[in-house]
Amino acid sequence: MKRRPIFLFAMSLLAAALTVNQVQAADSAESQLQALQQQGARPFDAQAGQELWQQQVNGRSCSQCHNADPDQPGTHQRTGKAIPPMSVRANPKRFTDAANTEKWFRRNCRWTLGRECSAQEKGDVIRWLSQP
């Protein structure tokens, strides 16, 4: 009798873990773009994403650390840490975790632009980086 509650608890943990894995597996560039459009963004523009990537604000740009060519690795300017390529074609793991994507957009937009990126800006950049 005492084993039954433990068994049920273990099964519920397993079910929760499987659900989390299914949600994470469902994350993709397209699903993240759909979520951004639900926040009011208009259709995304890869050209606008590339322009934002290269835009200099107070001497900073995305390409400064991540590389002007998103198929190539970048290097963090302060730490020297390697940054894997940002494009989906060079790094298929890009944009497979919505929470991670949001975390890095928040951090990097604040550092580079001095503010958070809008849903439109995020979507434009994701559209550009996820081109075949």
pLDDT value at residue 5: 55
What angle, rounded to 10 degrees, do the helices at 98-113 and 29-38 form? Answer: 70
Q: Which residues pair with 82 in a beta bridge?
A: 75
Please give the Cα distance from 128 to 49 (Å, whole number): 6
More confident residue, 2 or 112: 112
What's the CATH class of domain 27-129? Answer: mainly alpha
Distance, CA of 125 to CA of 66 (rounded, Å):
13
Q: What is the pLDDT of residues 52-91, one digit of tens each?
A: 999 999 999 999 999 999 999 999 988 999 999 999 999 9
Is pLDDT above 50 for 104? yes
The Cα–Cα gap between 122 and 95 comes to 11
**pTM for the whole structure:** 0.78
pLDDT for 23: 37
What is residue 97's predicted lDDT score, i.e. its pLDDT? Answer: 95
pLDDT at 78: 85
Give the domain ranges of the chain: 27-129
